[in-house]
Structure 1
Amino acid sequence: MDAEKTWTVRIDIGEHDGRTRAVAHLQTRDTSTVTGVGFARLSPEDRDVPEIGDEIAAARALSDLAHRLLRTATEDVEQVTGEHARLPL
């Protein structure tokens, strides 16, 4: 039977000086965490809908997290194989 694993992502969102910042934390193993960060800001001509800023910042944080996780996986492949690896997103 295949082993089942659970990885947890927590996204912390905060606002400061008209900017929304999201930090996505992925816990891959008991002690290993990968973090991505994303920002959003309200354009002066847009209506202030905080949830939209949260969504944009969170999406950007998750995108950053995905790139960082793929970079980590690439480095792991290279370490195991001793060869250059390229893992496209």
Structure 2
Amino acid sequence: MPVSKRWTVEVLIGEDHGNTSAVARLDTNDGTHLVGAGQARLNPADDDIPAIGDELAAARALSDLGHRLLLTAAADVAAVAEQPVHLTW
């Protein structure tokens, strides 16, 4: 597949006393900037394994980013089609 565009996603993760937050940022060649967010919280009964909190928070941030990208695409299609559009996940 020839590559003609590059979109960059950056995932930033922060931890604080059993709470993990992640932000996923998308930047595209055409100036689109979208942000998704995710959280994970350690259950006090579980062992503290930071990598698992990182994975959960990052996955949730990327999922949120994907949803926001789908909404952006639907709005762009609706603007071109001049009628409401419903894209499914």
TM-score by length of 2: 0.92
| Structure 1: unaligned runs, 5 residues or longer | none
Look up the SS of the partner of 2:86 in the other structure.
coil
Q: Letter of the 2:48 partner, please give it.
A: D
CA distance in 1, matches of 2:25, 2:41: 21
Measure how far apart 1:30 and its partner are. 4.8
- TM-superposed CA distance for 1:4, in Å, is 1.6
Alignment RMSD (CA, Å)? 1.4
Number of corresponding residues: 88
Name the TM-score, length of structure 1 as normaliser: 0.92
Rounded to whole Å, the distance in 1 between the matches of 2:18 and 2:6 is: 35
Q: For 1:31 and 1:17, how far apart are their aligned partners in 2? A: 36
Contact 2:22 2:39 in 1 (8 A): yes
Q: Residue 23 of structure 1 aligns to which amino acid in structure 2?
A: V
Indicate conservation of the 8 Å contact 2:9/2:25, yes or no: yes
Contact 2:7 2:28 in 1 (8 A): yes
Corresponding position of 1:84: 84
Q: CA deviation at 1:83?
A: 1.0
- Partners of 2:30 and 2:85 lie apart in 1 by 26
CA distance in 1, matches of 2:51, 2:17: 16
Q: Which residue of 2 aligns with 1:69?
A: 69
Identity %: 53
Residue 20 of structure 1 deviates from its aligned partner by 0.2
